[in-house]
Structure 1
C-alpha cells in the first residue's frame, strides 16, 4: 500500500480487509474487496480462505492475552444498531430547519460562546465551549439552549435501542466471545465513549453481570472502589470466580447517570440539567478531572500501562486527543501492548493520513506498524469484525490437529 493521499470514495467504504503489522498490502476478505484492492481478475478462493484464517488466528491469539480490553467508539452504534452519529446530533441540534445551515438561535449561541468551527463541527466540542463560557458567565439564553441540546441527546441516545429496527446482536456476540475467558485471567474491560445503553442491554439479554463502578444498593451510587469487587461462586468447602462478568467503563458518561450535588447516581431518565455527560474538546481537559470521569480515565490509562495487554478498538475516529494521545504513547512505551484497530473506513483512513476527514493518528499508527510495532488494522463494520472473532473454548488434541491441517491446506 502506498502513502499517497486519495479521497474517500464509496467503493472503499466498508470493504472487509486485514493489514498485519509491517505488511505492504491489505489482505482482502471478500470478493468485492479483492476486486477493488487488487484491481484485477477474479478473487482467489484459496487465498481468501487463507486471509480469513490469518485474521481469525490473530484474534484467537489476542484473546489469550491476560489483560484484554475492548474500546468502542460511536461507530459501533451506527448501522443496524440505529444509534445517531455525532454529525447527526449536530444536524438535529444546530440545523433543524435546513441541513448544514445553523438556525438563527444556534448561530447566536455559537457566536456568543465563540465556537467558530464550521468546516468540521462537532456537537461535543460545541457543548464543551458552552460549558467553558458558562463557568464565567450567567447567560440564561445559553443555559436554556444547552439544556435543550442535552435533552435531544438524551432522547436520541436512549430511544433507538427500544426500536423494533434496532439490532444489537453484534454487541451480544462480542460479549459472548470476549467474556468467555479463563476466570483466573483479569476480567474483560470494555471502554466506550458512547452514552447509550447497548452494552448494558446486551449483557442483560445474555444474563451477564456488568461491573460499572456503581454500588449494589437500591439507589446505585458511583464509587470507583466497586471496580475492585468481583463475584465468586461459593461452595461448602471452596469458591471460584463466576463466568460472564465484565467491566464497563463509560468514559464520557451515560444517559442513565444523574449528578446530584457531588454524587453520581444511576437514573432511568435524568433531567438535562442533571445528566452526567462529558463533552471533551481539544485543549479542554477540565471536565476529565471531575468525578466520575477522572476515575474512569485513570483506569483506562492504567490499563494501557499493564504488561501483556491487548486493546481492540472499533468505531473510534481518534478525534479526541485526550484518549488518542495516551493510546499512541502507550504502544511506544509498553512493548507488550497489542493494538487491533477496526473501522468501517479503515482502508481510506490509512491512505488519507490526516486529510479528507481522517485523523492524523491513523497515519501515525501505520508508521509504527511498518516499524514492527504490534498494530493490526481491520477494515469493515463492527459486526464484520465480530464475525471474525472465534468462540473461545479449549480445543481437543484432535481438533487442534485438524485446524492445523486446514491452515496448511488453505495456505498451499
Structure 2
C-alpha cells in the first residue's frame, strides 16, 4: 500500500538552479519547540527571501521583460471562472451547488451519449468535451451537438465577462501591483510585453485604475479596430518648451491576448473591433478545445503568436510565467525550446503547486518534467511555489530603492563571493 505524498500547496517556496533545491520563504515554525532550531529556520528563510529578491531585481533590469499569464491569474480573490466552473455551467442544470448535488441537463446527457464521451476516463473537462464535439461534427452533422456547442460558447463568454460586473476594484489589487511594478522600466529598456490566454478584462481594468497605458494592437480612434502596426507605436511626452525631443512615457506596456477577448467582435468581412457585448457567433475567441493549435494560425491570433515566438528568441530576456499550467502545446513547446536554445533567457515560473507538479512526475505533463530537469541541470530556470497575488507582492519596486540602496546593490553585484 502506497502512501500519498504530502502536498506543499499554499506554502511559499522557490527553487534555485544554483543550489538545486527548494527553499522555504515563509515557513511555519509554530510547532517547533526548539528555540535555536526555530531561529535557524527563520534565518534561512530570511536569507532565501533576500536571494529571491536579488534574482527578481536583476530580472527586472534585463533588456526585455516578458510575462505569460494563464487562467490562474484570474482565480483567487477576483473569483474568475476555472475550467471546472465552465464545465459546471455548460453541463449541469444546477451549477454552483456543490459536487455532490450536480445534475447534468437532459441536453448535455444526450450529447455526451451521442458523441461517446466517457466522463469516467476523460473526467469533467470542458476542453475535452468541446474537442470531442468538434471532432464529431467533422464527420457527422448533428443539430443537437451543434446547439450544445453554441450554447456552451455563450455560457463561456458570459462567465468570463460577468464576474467583473460590479466587482470591487480592491479585488484587482494583485493585477494592479503586478502591472505597476513590471511596467516601471528604465528608458533604455524595451516595454514590458504581457501575453495572456485569458479572455477576461482583468488586466485592462487594472491598468486603467492604475493609470497605465496599454498598447493592444487596436487603433486609438472609434471604432477601435485591430491592426498589428499599432504594436510598433510608442507614446512619448513632448516638453512644453517647443523642443522636438520627447521622452518615453512611463507606465506603458504591450498586451497580447493570445486566445482573444470577451470584447473582440469579428465582422463578416474579417474586421475585428472592440465592442461591449459581442455575440457567441461573432466573438473573436479561441474557445477551449484541443484545436486551439490550429485556430492560432488564423488572424488575429497568428499575429499574436508570431509576436510571442519572436519575444522568446530575443537576447537578454526574462520570461515570467504565472497562472499557466503548461497544458497548451502551442505555447509550452516554444518555452522549452527557448530555454534550450536561447542562452540569454531567464525563465521564472510561478505556480501555487509548482513543487507538487515537479515532484510527482506521473501526475504532471512532460513540460513540467522538462523544465524542472533543465533547472536541476543549472539552466537559468527558477520555480516559485506561490499564488499570483503572493508573487505580485514579491516583485521589487525598482524606484523604491534609495540611492544608497542602489549603490549597495551595485557593489554587491561586483563583489565575488570568496
1:109 counterpart = 2:115:
no
State the partner residue of 1:311: 319
Say if 2:293 and 2:329, in contact at 8 Å, map to a contact too.
no
Q: Of residues 345, 348, 351 in structure 1, which corresponds to 2:359?
A: 351
SS of residue matched to 2:296 = helix
- Using the TM superposition, give the Cα deviation of residue 132 of structure 1 relative to its aligned residue in structure 2, in angstroms: 4.8
SS of residue matched to 1:271 = coil
Say if 1:331 and 1:337, in contact at 8 Å, map to a contact too.
yes
- Using the TM superposition, give the Cα deviation of residue 283 of structure 1 relative to its aligned residue in structure 2, in angstroms: 6.3
Greater CA drift, 374-383 or 116-125: 116-125
1:27 counterpart = 2:23:
yes
Q: C-alpha separation between the residues in 1 aligned to 2:133 and 2:29?
A: 43
Q: C-alpha separation between the residues in 1 aligned to 2:285 and 2:353?
A: 27
RMSD of Structure 2 on Structure 1 (CA): 2.8
State the partner residue of 1:197: 201
Extract unaligned runs of 5+ from structure 2. none
State the partner residue of 1:249: 256
Extract unaligned runs of 5+ from structure 1. none
Q: C-alpha separation between the residues in 1 aligned to 2:348 and 2:390?
A: 14
1:87 counterpart = 2:84:
yes
Residues 29-178 of structure 1: matches in 2 within 5 Å? 29-32=25-28, 42=38, 44-97=41-94, 99=99, 102-113=104-115, 115-116=117-118, 118-134=121-137, 138-164=141-167, 167-178=171-182
Change in 2 beyond 3 A, CA 1:112/1:265: farther
Q: C-alpha separation between the residues in 2 aligned to 1:281 and 1:153?
A: 12
SS of residue matched to 2:164 = helix
Residues 222-233 of structure 1: matches in 2 within 5 Å? 222-233=226-237
Count of matched residue positions in the alignment of Structure 1 and Structure 2: 398
SS of residue matched to 1:273 = coil
1:371 counterpart = 2:377:
yes
Say if 2:216 and 2:231, in contact at 8 Å, map to a contact too.
yes
- Using the TM superposition, give the Cα deviation of residue 7 of structure 1 relative to its aligned residue in structure 2, in angstroms: 4.7
State the partner residue of 1:391: 397
Q: C-alpha separation between the residues in 1 aligned to 2:29 and 2:329?
A: 31
State the partner residue of 1:265: 273
Deviation sequence 1:90-148 (CA, Å, 0-9, x none): 12212334847644322332444555564344323433443455466553322322222
- Using the TM superposition, give the Cα deviation of residue 398 of structure 1 relative to its aligned residue in structure 2, in angstroms: 2.2
- Using the TM superposition, give the Cα deviation of residue 45 of structure 1 relative to its aligned residue in structure 2, in angstroms: 2.2
- Using the TM superposition, give the Cα deviation of residue 209 of structure 1 relative to its aligned residue in structure 2, in angstroms: 1.1
SS of residue matched to 2:266 = strand
- Using the TM superposition, give the Cα deviation of residue 295 of structure 1 relative to its aligned residue in structure 2, in angstroms: 0.8
State the partner residue of 2:219: 215
Say if 1:253 and 1:278, in contact at 8 Å, map to a contact too.
yes
Say if 1:354 and 1:361, in contact at 8 Å, map to a contact too.
no
TM-score (norm 1): 0.88
Change in 2 beyond 3 A, CA 1:25/1:35: farther
SS of residue matched to 1:289 = coil
State the partner residue of 1:239: 246
State the partner residue of 1:13: 9
TM-score (norm 2): 0.87
- Using the TM superposition, give the Cα deviation of residue 42 of structure 1 relative to its aligned residue in structure 2, in angstroms: 3.0
Change in 2 beyond 3 A, CA 1:376/1:149: same
Q: C-alpha separation between the residues in 2 aligned to 1:160 and 1:41?
A: 46
SS of residue matched to 2:38 = coil
Say if 2:131 and 2:291, in contact at 8 Å, map to a contact too.
no
Change in 2 beyond 3 A, CA 1:402/1:85: same
Greater CA drift, 56-65 or 234-243: 234-243
Q: C-alpha separation between the residues in 2 aligned to 1:347 and 1:85?
A: 21
Deviation sequence 1:273-325 (CA, Å, 0-9, x none): 11111036446632111111111111101111111111100111111111111
Higher relative contact order (Cα pairs below 8 Å, separated by 6+ residues):
1
State the partner residue of 2:345: 337
